[in-house]
Structure 1
Amino acid sequence: MANGFELKATARDRVGKGAARALRREGLIPAVIYGDKKPALPITIPVKETTIALHKGGFLTHIATIEVDGEKHRVIAKDYQLDPVRDELVHVDFLRVGKDATLTVEVPVHFLNEETCPGLKKGGVLNIVRHTVEMTVPATAIPESIDFDLSTVNLGDSIHISATTLPAGCKPTITDRDFTVATIAAPAGLKSEGEAEEGEEA
Structure 2
Amino acid sequence: MQLEFNANKRDGQGTGASRRLRRTGRVPAIIYGSTEKPQSIDIDHNELFQLLRKETFYSSVLTANIDGAKETCLLRDVQRHPYRQVILHADFQRVDATHKLHQKVPLHFINADIAPGVKLGGGIVQHVLTDIEVRCLPKDLPAFIEVDLKDLVAGHSLHVSQLSLPTGVEVMLHKGEDPVVATILTVRGKDEDEAPAADSAATAVTAAAPAPAPAAKK
- State the TM-score bracket (shorter-chain normalisation): 0.7 to 0.9
Q: Distance in 2 between matches of 1:70 and 1:150?
A: 45
Where does residue 6 of structure 2 map in the other structure?
8
Where does residue 83 of structure 1 map in the other structure?
81
Q: Distance in 1 between matches of 2:68 and 2:85?
A: 31
Query: Which of 27, 49, 55 in structure 2 is aligned with 1:29?
Result: 27
Q: Distance in 1 between matches of 2:143 and 2:63?
A: 18
Where does residue 128 of structure 1 map in the other structure?
127
Q: Which amino acid aligns with 2:148?
A: D
Where does residue 182 of structure 2 map in the other structure?
182
Q: Counterpart of 2:155 in 1: which secondary structure?
A: coil
Q: Distance in 1 between matches of 2:63 and 2:169?
A: 23
Where does residue 104 of structure 1 map in the other structure?
102
Higher strand share: 1
Q: Distance in 1 between matches of 2:139 and 2:118?
A: 37
Deviation at 1:85, TM superposition (A): 2.3
User: Please, what is the CA RMSD of the aligned residues?
Assistant: 2.0
Q: 1:60–1:105: 8 Å Cα contact kept in structure 2?
A: no
Q: Which runs of 5+ in 1 are unaligned?
A: 198-202
Q: Which amino acid aligns with 2:105?
A: V
Percentage identity across paired residues of the two chains:
35
Deviation at 1:175, TM superposition (A): 4.0
Q: Which amino acid aligns with 1:166?
A: L
CA shift digits 1:59-85 (9 cap, x unpaired): 221122212222211111111110112
Q: Counterpart of 1:55 in 2: which secondary structure?
A: coil
Q: Distance in 1 between matches of 2:112 and 2:67?
A: 49
Count of aligned pairs between the two proteins? 192
Greater gyration radius: 2
Where does residue 56 of structure 1 map in the other structure?
54
CA shift digits 1:142-187 (9 cap, x unpaired): 1122222222211101100122221122111114222210111112
Q: Does 1:167 align with 2:197?
A: no
